[in-house]
Amino acid sequence: MAFSKTQSSANVRASQELVPIEEIRDGVVILKDGSLRAVLMASSLNFALKSPDEQDAIIMQYQNFLNSLDFSIQFFIQSRKLNIDPYLDTLRERKKAETNELLRIQITEYISFVKDFVESGSIVSKSFYIVVPFIPSNLASIQKGIGGVLGSLFGKRGGQNEAFMDDEKFSEYRTQLWQRLDTVIGGLIRTGVRAVPLTTEELIELYYGLYRPEESEKGKAPKIEGKE
């Protein structure tokens, strides 16, 4: 069955409507409903290796951190199969440049060992994220009513929000969002966890990987213009 160009364009538009993101800029995700999100990448903590007293202290600090927040946050753990293709390509290039036949054989055996080990063990990498939201007060009051719910379902999308999110308002909202980030970062530090906000480029790569995991596992990423 053949598809026309019109059908293809319609499918692209339909897919874009399923993505709630309007824009990503200055390290901030702007959703189509006008709310903002920032994403922190957090370090891991080997809790099992801590002494009982250290574990109790961490739990207490984490509890105090959660109780101190007057806004919601979301924890997100991403598990992804480890992609070793770039590493193997580097080894293959090293093998081509190697003149010693014995070393060439050893590199070949090492490449085979690493490839078989990773494929048989299904080794995955884990990344830890905290999503911090900010909903402007005028938008929050709208979302409390039925009209706000209906508006988010049937309201206009895309560029219609540009008038709402002009540069001045974006700067104001971003400042308030970053105040929340500082609160979260400070609270996590007391538990022994470090966190840093993702840049625009990192956010694009993160969301691209979430919506296109098969491409991300192959090491592919979107071309980004005007990197920070």
Domain ranges of the chain: 20-72+128-222, 81-124
pLDDT at 211: 80
End-to-end CA distance of the chain: give it in Å, rounded: 44
Partners of 130 in the β-ladder: 40, 75
Q: pLDDT value at position 152?
A: 38
Strands (E), 51-193: 74-81, 124-134
Q: Quick one: pLDDT at residue 179? A: 95
- Quote the CA–CA distance of 181 and 105 in Å, as a whole number: 52
- CA-nearest of 227, 132, 202 to 173 is 132
Beta strands in the chain (DSSP E): 21-25, 28-31, 36-42, 74-81, 124-134, 195-197
Residues in a beta bridge with 75: 130
pLDDT, residue 74, reads 93
User: Of the candidates 95, 12, 78, 94, which has an alpha carbon nearest to the alpha carbon of residue 42?
Assistant: 78
Each residue's pLDDT, cut to its tens digit, for the chain (228 residues) gives 444 555 455 555 555 667 788 889 999 999 988 899 999 999 988 888 999 999 999 999 999 999 999 999 999 998 877 777 888 889 999 899 888 989 999 999 998 988 888 777 667 778 899 999 999 886 655 455 444 433 333 334 444 444 457 888 899 999 999 999 999 999 999 999 999 999 999 999 888 888 876 665 555 554 544 444
- Under 8 Å between Cβ of 227 and 201: yes
The whole-angstrom separation of Cα 56 and Cα 88 is 43
